[in-house]
Structures are given as structure tokens and as C-alpha cells.
Amino acid sequence: MSGVTLRNVVKRYGNVQVIHGVDLEIEDGEFCVFVGPSGCGKSTLMRMVAGLEETTEGQIHIGARDVTRVDPADRGVAMVFQTYALYPHMTVEQNMGFGLKMNGVGKDEIRKKTNEASRILKLDDYLDRKPAALSGGQRQRVAIGRAIVRGPDVFLFDEPLSNLDAELRVEMRVEIARLHKEIGATMIYVTHDQVEAMTLADKIVVLKFGVIEQVGAPLELYRDPDNKFVAGFIGSPAMNFVKGTVRGGEIHVPAFGASVTPHITMPSDGTEVIVGLRPEHAELDRSGDTFKVELTEALGGISYAYLTAQTGETLIFEERGDERAKTSDTVSLSYEPRRLYVFDAETEQRIR
Amino acid sequence: MQEPRTSAKRMSQTQAAWLLLAPFLITYGLFLVYPFFRGFWISLHDWNLLAVAFNPDAKEFVGFRNYERVMWGRNIEWGFASPFWQGLGVLGLAASAYLRRVDRLSRFNAIALAVASLLLVVLPGFHPGEDGRWYDRRFWPTVGNTLLFVGLAVPGVTISALLLAAALNKETKAMGALRTLFFLSQVLSVTVVTLIWQIMFSPRQGLIANITETFGGTPINWLTDEQFAMAAIVIATVWWSLGIAMILFLAGLQDISKDIYEAAALDNARGAKAFWYVTLPNLQRTITLVVVLQIILHFQVFGQSHLMTQGGPNDTTQVLVRYIYQTGFRDSELGRASAMAVFLFVIMGTFSVIQFIVGREKK
């Protein structure tokens, strides 16, 4: 009973508006990821849910309760910070129990809950240590433990993995996913890493300049992006974009040296469009000569080929077979027309 | 690039180090080390300032007799002569033992508390027995006044500087201006500070008297009333030496990350609670530093007492440095004055050592 609802939420710092009327519904128990480039307002939006930033306009509900003007401590949220924000003078146990202590919970109860949390997070051996004596991953776990102990309705994670090294990041990502399954609470997670977003989320919210670009399940956003920004942001490597013009019921694409006919409602003649094609949705045909291979990156199972068109546009494609393109080969593409995405060049909205 | 050729022989690194250190070492030796040992040497003599000035041989080696004449007396006995202080000492000893056993005090702090309490039990116990008397009746009361002054001024400065720093720890223009304003008093000289406060405390025209009268009270004769003279000096001192302590606390406060306060806000610790549970524990080292620096500084109090109350009324604001000054330069008893100075040095030296140890101690 503790989903999160944002209604026309606005944030202004003086004259600068950073969040422009966001409407969002997060279901109870859902894992929702806010994703977007730096400065898109994702952290600000989450901090507004936490109550650490004042909401200029609009309402925030947690469950049935309007918490827009409620104190952070009384919202039933717990937050995990990017910098961990552990209390340096307290032991792991005291760090985790501090919130309960401040809320007047008895000592035995606190001990019970911290023990429970430390068991889930495998922190039993470190309860008496201070944060300075812990590794980055352990500190992160303590920060998560501190959130768990409070038994909040909503967990907030503010880029929790960005201070960890790559290996640990993957490990903690799995751990957070496991935690969500185990606890089943509503979680909001902020990241700029689309891999984290894809792997963790039930629902992804893509933000840009304080506006929601699209909301949906990870594969929904991948398969059916609403606009060029979302199409480019979700998926790695990013979708290839080339220019095109509508001409006589077809789209003329100079980079491909051909016209394409995707399954869309074709706009009027002369409309400038952008055509998108994911790196994994085309095969390289080595008998062709439309593109020159500038560079290849062999990662083992996959290689990436960097192609240059005669128009100067560059594209990346993926290859998996035994025979792979080499630098300075010339190739052409073969793909299914239904894999093409078309966007209006001016509004960057998807044309379906 | 070619190395410049010189005809001179190259110095070794050690030689260069000594050469660069020499100006400091010479100055330090000449103006600090030598006068210190010279002072100690004088304290072992019956040394009249004027007599020795005219005839260098007019001094007599007397060993530790100056120390005896200053600190001791005839028929001195030990007992529970001042139950209040000695009782406090016993309580302190018990507290140190108890807190150490339940592990609420570090070993170092427990020892420090125990030593202080033990001194409190032992020292006030000495008193002249029947027919006995102190050789110098004024010395121990003066030490007591100095301790009282330090005991009031140090917590006064520390607490008010800490509260001010906490209030001014914001990045706005107004706060910046206020910080400068509060620091300003620090740069004034003691003559200016005492002049300002003499006017403030004046029962006729002073600001405090005016305010008292507005509310229908009778103005207090701050500087000539035995009950208030010490308080007046302490107030002036707190106002004067707030600045440095405040700057140190501000630096300490800025070291505490903003995230921690946000985490605390989510944990239901805001305002006073956050100050108690987050700010204070994280400022512990700064607090120790400020307290010890203030102790060392305020044991040397002189100007405030000398200029505002002349040690009066009835010696209630007579402090150690002023007494040393009078003994040495008014009464010309340089030997005895030096003995007192050495006593003061031992007290301040002890606190410096504590500061040094605490500074080195890891959490």
C-alpha cells in the first residue's frame, strides 16, 4: 500500500526551473529506475521524494498520504547515498541502529533488527568496526543495512554503485536485485548507467532537462522508444542514426545509398527524418561497398565494426560469426525493414 | 640543460639543511631557550633587580629557597581542610574508575581525569596548622584566582564560539559578514578591549547599567564589587578571544560532509539532535584543540586584570602573571618572581604535553 505518486511536480531554484511538471505513478513493490544524463534532474526528483529538497509546486503521495510538506523523517523513506554518508564516529551496528534510536525504539528491538539486517547483508563480522576500517563495498552494504533496519515503505538509492570498482559494481547490482526480491518494498533508484537501469528495473523513467521522456519496462523502452533521445539512451552500444528525406512514399537515406520503406505511416513528401538502426539488428555484407570499415574492436564473442558512410556519417554494428570484417574492408548492410526506427528530424519524435 | 659550474665545493644535503635551519635555531636559542634557563637560574638566587643592576655580584645562590618562600609555610599540615574541592576530587576519582570500567572513557581520558581529581584531593588539603602560616599569603589565593579565571573563561569561550560557529556555518553573504564581525574583536589589543569594557561596565554611563536601569534595576558596580569583578573580566575575555576559536570550529564544521546531515535528517535527527549526535562527536578533536589552546592562553592572563581592576577589589582578580610582574618589577624580587614563573611554566607545559599527546592519538 505504499506506491509513490507524483502529480505535476515542479522544482525551481530562484528563476531556474529544473523539474518541469512531472507526473509519475510508481506501484507498490515496484523497482523504479530514474535514468538520464548528468543534470537531467533525476537526483533532484528523488531528493524531492525523500524530502531533502522542497517541492515548489505539485504533490507527492506515498501510499495514500500526501507527503509534499512532510518532514523527511516522517515520510517512511530510507535513502542510500552515493557517498554512503555513514556516521564516521559510530560503529557499523550503531550506524544501522541510529534511525531507530532517534525514533525511540528500545535497545533489544534495535539489536534484533540490526542483527537481522547484518545477516541479510553478511556484515556479522564487522558490527564493531567503524566505517574507516571498511572497504568500499562493505560501506555500501552498511548504508543499505541502515536503510533496511528502518523498515521503510520506500527505499531510495542515489547512484549507489558509482563509487565502486567495476567488479564490485556488478556484484552489488545482483545483491540489490536479490534484496528487492527478498524485501519486496518499493524502490526508487537513480543512475546514469543504462545497464544498471535495464538489469534492475521493473519500470524505467527516462529524464532529460527535468522532463520525463518516456516511462516503461526496460524491454518496452528498448523495443518501442517514443523519441530519438530514449532510442539513443537505452541500448549499448547506442542506436545508429542517419539522415533521410521522405520522397514518393519512400525514405531516401544518402548514407545507405538507397531508399528504405519501413512499416510506418509515411509523412508527406519532403519531410526531413532521422532513421535509426540498432547495432545488433543488421549484418555486414562484405560483397557490398556502401561503407568503409574504419576500425574494429574484437571483444571475443562479439566484435564491433565502426563504419563510415560516403556522407561522412559513422555507424557501429555488431558481428558474432567466425568471419568478421577487418579494418579498411568495404561492406554493405542487410537488415529487415521492420528493424528501422524513424524519427521526425525537427521534433525528434518517433514516427510510427 | 647544463648544470651551472661553480668554483665553490658542493654542500652535502645535511650541511645545506643545517645552513637553512641556522637562522631559526639561532633566534630560537637566543630568545627562548637561553632566557628560559636563565630564568630558572635566577629563580635559584636571592636576586634584587636594582641591586644586581648596579652590582652584578649582589646576588646570592639560595637553592630552592625561593620556591619554599613562595609555595610553603610554617607548620603546614595536610587534612580535609576544604571539603568541597577535596570531595569533588574524590567524586572525580570514582567517576574515572567507573566510566573506565563500563568503557565510556578512553584510557587516556580516564587517566587525565584521575590525575586531575587526585590533584584536587591532595592540593587543597594543605593548610597551616596551629601557629603556622604561609610564608607568602597571597600566592595560593592568586593561583586559585587564575584557576577560577581559566575555569570560567575556557568553557565560556569554547561554548559560545561553538554555538556561534554552528549558527554562522552557512554560505550566505550575511553570514560571511557576521563571521568577519565576530572575528574583528580578536584583532584589537588588550588596551582597547579593556577600555571598551570599562565603559560598558561603568555604573554611570555604561550600556549594561543603562539597560539595567531601563528595567528598573540598580546598576551593578561590576569592577569594584568582589562578587562581580572576576565575572566582568571573564566576560571581556570571552568577547575578546571568541574569534580564533570560532574560526577553528568553522573549519571543523566544514569538514563534516553535508550528506551525513541529510542521512541524519532521514534518521529523524535534526536541529539540536543532529548537533548532539552528529556535529559534536565529529568535532571532538577540534574541541580538544580549542580547549587546550585556550587553557594555555588564559593562564597567561594579565592585561584584563591589570587594566580593568588592578587585581582588586581585595585581590579577588589578582592573577599569577600580574603577581609575578609586581613581585619582579615593583618589589624588585626577581628571584621569587622567577620561581613563580617556573611554576606557571610547569602548569602550561603540562597542558602543552596533553595537547601534543591528544593531537597524536588516533581515534
Q: What is the pLDDT of residues B250-285, one digit of tens each?
A: 999 998 989 999 999 999 988 889 999 999 989 988
pLDDT band with cut points at 50, 70 and 90 for residue B361: low
Q: What tens digit of pLDDT does each residue of B55-89 get?
A: 888 888 888 888 988 888 888 888 888 888 899 99
For residues B23 and A184, which has the higher predicted lDDT (pLDDT)?
A: B23
Question: What are B's interface residues with A at a Cβ cutoff of 8 A?
Answer: 257, 259-260, 262-270, 273, 277-278, 281-282, 284, 363
Beta bridge partners of A80: A157
Q: What tens digit of pLDDT does each residue of A45-91 get?
A: 999 999 999 999 999 999 989 999 999 989 989 999 999 999 999 99
Number of neighbours of residue B298 by Cβ within 10 angstroms = 22
- Whether B1 shows a pLDDT value over 60: the answer reads no
Contacts of A89 in chain B (CB under 8 A): 281-282, 284, 363
Q: Using CA coordinates, name the residue in chain A closest to B284.
A: A89
Cα of A302 to nearest chain B Cα, Å: 42
Q: To the nearest whole number, what is the mean pLDDT of chain B?
A: 87
Q: Using CA coordinates, name the residue in chain A closest to B282.
A: A89
| Closest in A79, A89, A102 to B269, CB measured | A102
Asked whether B149 and B233 are in contact (CB, 8 A), the reply is: yes
Q: What is the mean pLDDT of residues A253-267?
A: 88
DSSP codes of every residue in A179-229: HHHHH--EEEEEES-HHHHHHH-SEEEEEETTEEEEEE-HHHHHHS-SBHH
- Whether B362 shows a pLDDT value over 70: the answer reads no
Cα of A135 to nearest chain B Cα, Å: 18
Alpha carbon dihedral B222, B228, B231, B237, in 10-degree steps, equals 30
Question: What are A's interface residues with B at a Cβ cutoff of 8 A?
Answer: 50-52, 71-74, 77-79, 81, 83-90, 98-99, 102-103, 130, 132, 146, 150
Cα of A49 to nearest chain B Cα, Å: 12
Contact B282 A146 (CB under 8 A): no
The verdict on domain B142-360 having CATH code 1.10.3720.10 is yes
Asked whether A155 and A145 are in contact (CB, 8 A), the reply is: no
For residues A146 and B137, which has the higher predicted lDDT (pLDDT)?
A: A146
Q: What is the pLDDT of residue A1?
A: 53
| Closest in B263, B277, B284 to A81, CB measured | B263
Is beta strand A154-158 parallel, antiparallel or unpaired with respect to A77-80?
A: parallel
| Closest in A77, A85, A102 to B260, CB measured | A85
Beta bridge partners of B193: none
Percent of all residues in chain B with a pLDDT value above 90, rounded to a whole number: 37
Q: What tens digit of pLDDT does each residue of B162-186 get?
A: 999 988 888 888 888 888 888 888 8
Q: Is A34 left (phi over 0), alpha (psi -120 to 50) or beta?
A: beta
| Closest in B257, B260, B268 to A99, CB measured | B268
Cα of A13 to nearest chain B Cα, Å: 15
Cell numbers at B345, concatenated? 611554566
Q: Which amino acid is at A352?
A: R
Q: What is the pLDDT of residue B3?
A: 54
Cα A100 vs. chain centroid, distance in angstroms? 31
Q: How far apart are alpha carbons B23 and B6 in whole angstroms?
A: 25
- Whether A331 shows a pLDDT value over 60: the answer reads yes
Q: Using CA coordinates, name the residue in chain B closest to A80.
A: B263
Contact B266 A79 (CB under 8 A): yes
Q: To the nearest whole number, what is the mean pLDDT of chain A?
A: 91
What domains sit in chain A, N to C, each tagged with a CATH number? Answer: 4-233 (3.40.50.300), 240-351 (2.40.50.140)
| Closest in A78, A86, A130 to B266, CB measured | A78
pLDDT band with cut points at 50, 70 and 90 for residue B356: confident
Q: How far apart are alpha carbons A275 and A292 in whole angstroms?
A: 19
Contacts of A14 in chain B (CB under 8 A): none
Q: Find the helix packing angle between B334-360 and B284-298, rounded to 10°.
A: 180
Q: What tens digit of pLDDT does each residue of B299-353 get?
A: 999 998 999 888 878 888 999 999 999 999 999 889 999 999 999 999 888 878 8
Coil/strand/helix, residue A264 = coil
B284 φ/ψ angles, rounded to the nearest 5 degrees: -50, -45
| Closest in A81, A89, A130 to B259, CB measured | A81
Cα B291 vs. chain centroid, distance in angstroms? 9
Q: What is the mean pLDDT of residues B100-117?
A: 81
Q: Using CA coordinates, name the residue in chain A closest to B255.
A: A88
Listed by start position, the domains of chain B span 142-360
- Whether B363 shows a pLDDT value over 50: the answer reads no
Q: Using CA coordinates, name the residue in chain A closest to B262.
A: A52
Cα A302 vs. chain centroid, distance in angstroms? 24
| Closest in B259, B260, B266 to A72, CB measured | B266
Q: What is the pLDDT of residue A6?
A: 92
Q: What is the pLDDT of residue A48?
A: 93
Number of neighbours of residue B157 by Cβ within 10 angstroms = 27
Coil/strand/helix, residue A162 = coil
Contact B266 A83 (CB under 8 A): no
Asked whether A225 and A350 are in contact (CB, 8 A), the reply is: yes
Q: Which residues of B112-127 are buried (b: 16+ CB within 10 A; e: fewer)?
A: bbbeebeebbeebbbb
CB pairs under 8 A between A and B: 66
Contact A87 B278 (CB under 8 A): yes
Contacts of B270 in chain A (CB under 8 A): 71, 73
Percent of all residues in chain A with a pLDDT value above 90, rounded to a whole number: 62
Q: What is the mean pLDDT of residues A272-280?
A: 93
Q: How far apart are alpha carbons A136 and A152 in whole angstroms?
A: 24
Cα of B274 to nearest chain A Cα, Å: 10
Q: Provide the terminal-to-terminal Cα distance of chain B, rounded to the nearest Å.
A: 49
Model pTM? 0.78
Q: What is the pLDDT of residue B124?
A: 85
Cell numbers at B309, concatenated? 581592576
pLDDT band with cut points at 50, 70 and 90 for residue B6: low
Q: What is the pLDDT of residue B159?
A: 94
Coil/strand/helix, residue B138 = coil
DSSP codes of every residue in B152-214: HHHHHHHHHHHHHHHHH-S-SHHHHHHHHHHHHGGGS-HHHHHHHHHHHH-TTT-HHHHHHHH
Cα of B256 to nearest chain A Cα, Å: 10
Kindly tell me the burial class for residue A254, based on how many C-beta atoms sit within 10 Å of its own C-beta (0-12, 13-18, 19 or more): middle
Alpha carbon dihedral A232, A233, A235, A236, in 10-degree steps, equals 90
Residues contacting residue A305 through CB under 8 Å, at least 6 positions apart: A284, A293, A295, A296, A316, A317, A318, A319, A324, A325, A331
Is beta strand A186-191 parallel, antiparallel or unpaired with respect to A31-35?
A: parallel
Q: What is the pLDDT of residue A314?
A: 92
Q: Which residue has the cell 530514474?
A: A34
Contact B268 A52 (CB under 8 A): no
Q: Using CA coordinates, name the residue in chain A closest to B260.
A: A85
Q: What is the pLDDT of residue A39?
A: 87
Contact B269 A98 (CB under 8 A): yes
Contact A99 B265 (CB under 8 A): no
| Residue among B327, B319, B329, B283 at smallest CA distance from B298 | B319
- Whether B204 shows a pLDDT value over 90: the answer reads no
- Whether B359 shows a pLDDT value over 70: the answer reads no
Q: Using CA coordinates, name the residue in chain A closest to B278.
A: A87
Cα of B267 to nearest chain A Cα, Å: 4
Cα A66 vs. chain centroid, distance in angstroms? 27
